[in-house]
């Protein structure tokens, strides 16, 4: 484990006697808030500490070592008596790595609460989910967890944790900034403006939510009675500009090198599930099983997005004993409220599917003035047979991919895009579904370009193969 030193020294400097520098106090961290972004290695840390100021010039030395703090992002600001306190300078002393000295001009004397904020690397959060479907796969219960992994080199106790879902632009990696690799370039960035913007948004969010000032809210959460813990540990979902925020209630410990998971999403009642099988037109067809549902209140999901993450999917194998069977590991992209979620569970051998490419033929040959073949229509006849050998109904999504100028005959559906035809169907338990024979007709050469000619499509009628006759 890396050596960690995070030290705050308060030095008071009397304007008249600059050489007389004395150590006054080493204040404890009173509160800390971590805003952790996923997708980028970035965490905004906001610490609250009380410094005892003397009237006049004060010098505060802040040191850190063994951590992944972005030096350029460090900022100190008073949380009270702002009109009487001014941060006039910040100095990185020569030959003193991981050290910053702030000079403060104070009109007052006494204890003042300050916030020290900075970006750090090494703290990440991810989401993961557990789904337990009923035996008949009609409904399911869902739990969504957020896991915070702290590899920053610093342990955070009693932390107020906020998790940001979204894609944020980061010009340089915090880890590189922390290690000084791009220090010179980073000095040109207005990183403090970014920091202030983020802090303002978070503060506004907290005030909106709690009806209290930011620092007061932080203080209040520290003093939660123990019997409120369960409620406090609930994860609240909120918007943050174009991003989304999960606020983990209560104070949480994030030890260095440890992972902590919080229950963020939980269905209180079974949500309706659709079992979908997706089949694509191919010689070796297979039915891919998907669980599909919409991220909305109707599906008993709390208001808010579902961050991307893996899903462990289970199904009740025996309702009498509630024994589970493991359906598989699925993944999904970030899903905003109101959007559907599809969990791909792989091939289900309980549903058999066979596709036969019955025939290929060409018609409507077209010749140019010199007699060269310059266009024709190719027809491919297909048939799909699908059998649901399970005891439950299912939905089918049948996708046909085609290129060029094409049309599908004898199969209901819709053109999804330039290349895709979609047919949807339902199968009852034990049912057998036969689609077709349907034909994909593709206009080739000049027939693909000339609309007038392309309409002259004559679907071929396949002739049966002849009977074998005796030779004698």
Enumerate binding residues for other proteins (CB under 8 A): 128, 130, 145, 226-227, 229-230, 233, 252, 255-263, 310, 312, 314, 317, 322-326, 328, 346, 349-352, 356-362, 365, 367, 369-373, 376, 380-381, 387, 389, 432, 462-463, 465-472
The angle subtended at Cα 244 by Cα 251 and Cα 164, nearest 5°, is 50
167, two tokens:
């894609």
Task: Give 259 or 395: the residue with its C-beta nearer to other proteins.
Answer: 259
Measured from the CB of residue 373, what is the shortest distance to other proteins in angstroms?
Answer: 5
Task: Give 452 or 470: the residue with its C-beta nearer to other proteins.
Answer: 470
Measured from the CB of residue 162, what is the shortest distance to other proteins in angstroms?
Answer: 16
Strands 31-37 and 156-165: parallel
330, two tokens:
């699925």
227, two tokens:
């019997």
Burial class of residue 260, CB neighbours in 10 A (0-12, 13-18, 19+):
middle
Task: Give 88 or 225: the residue with its C-beta nearer to other proteins.
Answer: 225
Measured from the CB of residue 270, what is the shortest distance to other proteins in angstroms?
Answer: 15
Measured from the CB of residue 267, what is the shortest distance to other proteins in angstroms?
Answer: 13
Adjacent-strand bridge partners of 127:
146
Measured from the CB of residue 120, what is the shortest distance to other proteins in angstroms?
Answer: 17
Distance CA(48)–CA(43), nearest Å, equals 16
Residues contacting residue 336 through CB under 8 Å, at least 6 positions apart: 295, 305
Distance CA(431)–CA(213), nearest Å, equals 62
Task: Give 82 or 389: the residue with its C-beta nearer to other proteins.
Answer: 389
Distance CA(261)–CA(125), nearest Å, equals 9
Measured from the CB of residue 262, what is the shortest distance to other proteins in angstroms?
Answer: 5
Task: Give 102 or 129: the residue with its C-beta nearer to other proteins.
Answer: 129
Contact 162, 143 (CB under 8 A): no
Count other C-beta atoms under 10 Å from residue 255's C-beta. 12
Task: Give 13 or 123: the residue with its C-beta nearer to other proteins.
Answer: 123
Task: Give 94 or 466: the residue with its C-beta nearer to other proteins.
Answer: 466
């Amino acid at each position: 484990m890396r050596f960690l030193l995070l030290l705050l020294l308060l030095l008071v400097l009397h304007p008249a006697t600059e050489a007389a520098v004395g150590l006054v106090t080493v204040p404890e961290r009173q509160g800390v808030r971590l805003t952790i972004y996923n997708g980028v290695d970035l965490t905004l840390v906001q610490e609250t500490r009380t410094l005892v100021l003397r009237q006049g010039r004060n010098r505060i030395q802040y040191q850190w070592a063994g951590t992944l703090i972005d030096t350029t992002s460090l900022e100190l600001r008073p949380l009270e008596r702002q009109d009487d306190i001014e941060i006039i300078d910040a100095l990185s002393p020569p030959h003193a790595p991981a050290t910053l000295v702030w000079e403060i001009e104070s009109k007052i004397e006494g204890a003042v609460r300050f916030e020290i904020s900075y970006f750090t690397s090494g703290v990440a959060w991810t989401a993961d989910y557990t789904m337990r479907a009923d035996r008949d796969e009609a409904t399911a219960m869902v739990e969504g967890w957020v896991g915070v992994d702290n590899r920053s080199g610093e342990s955070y106790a009693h932390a107020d944790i906020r998790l940001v879902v979204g894609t944020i632009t980061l010009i340089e990696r915090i880890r590189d900034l922390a290690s000084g690799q791009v220090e010179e370039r980073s000095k040109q960035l207005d990183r403090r403006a970014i920091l202030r913007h983020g802090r303002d948004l978070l503060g506004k969010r907290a005030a909106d939510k709690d009806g209290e000032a930011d620092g007061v809210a932080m203080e209040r959460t520290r003093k939660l009675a123990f019997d409120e813990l369960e409620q406090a540990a609930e994860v609240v979902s909120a918007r943050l500009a174009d991003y989304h925020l999960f606020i983990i209630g209560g104070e949480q410990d994030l030890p260095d090198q440890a992972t902590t998971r919080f229950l963020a999403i939980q269905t209180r009642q079974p949500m309706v599930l659709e079992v979908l099988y997706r089949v694509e037109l191919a010689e070796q067809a297979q039915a891919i099983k998907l669980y599909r549902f919409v991220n909305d209140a109707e599906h008993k999901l709390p208001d808010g997005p579902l961050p991307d993450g893996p899903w462990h999917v289970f199904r009740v194998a025996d309702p009498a004993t509630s024994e589970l069977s493991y359906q598989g590991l699925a993944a999904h992209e970030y899903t905003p409220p109101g959007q559907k979620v599809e969990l791909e569970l792989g091939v289900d051998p309980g549903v058999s599917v066979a596709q036969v490419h019955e025939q290929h033929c060409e018609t409507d040959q077209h010749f140019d003035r010199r007699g060269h073949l310059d266009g024709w229509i190719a027809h491919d006849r297909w048939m799909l047979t699908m059998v649901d050998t399970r005891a439950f109904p299912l939905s089918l999504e049948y996708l046909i991919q085609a290129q060029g100028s094409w049309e599908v005959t004898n199969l209901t559906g819709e053109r999804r895009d330039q290349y895709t035809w979609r047919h949807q169907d339902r199968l009852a338990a034990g049912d057998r579904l036969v689609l077709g024979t349907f034909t994909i007709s593709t206009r080739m050469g000049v027939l693909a370009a000339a609309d007038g000619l392309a309409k002259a499509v004559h679907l071929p009628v396949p002739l049966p193969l002849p009977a074998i006759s005796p030779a004698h």
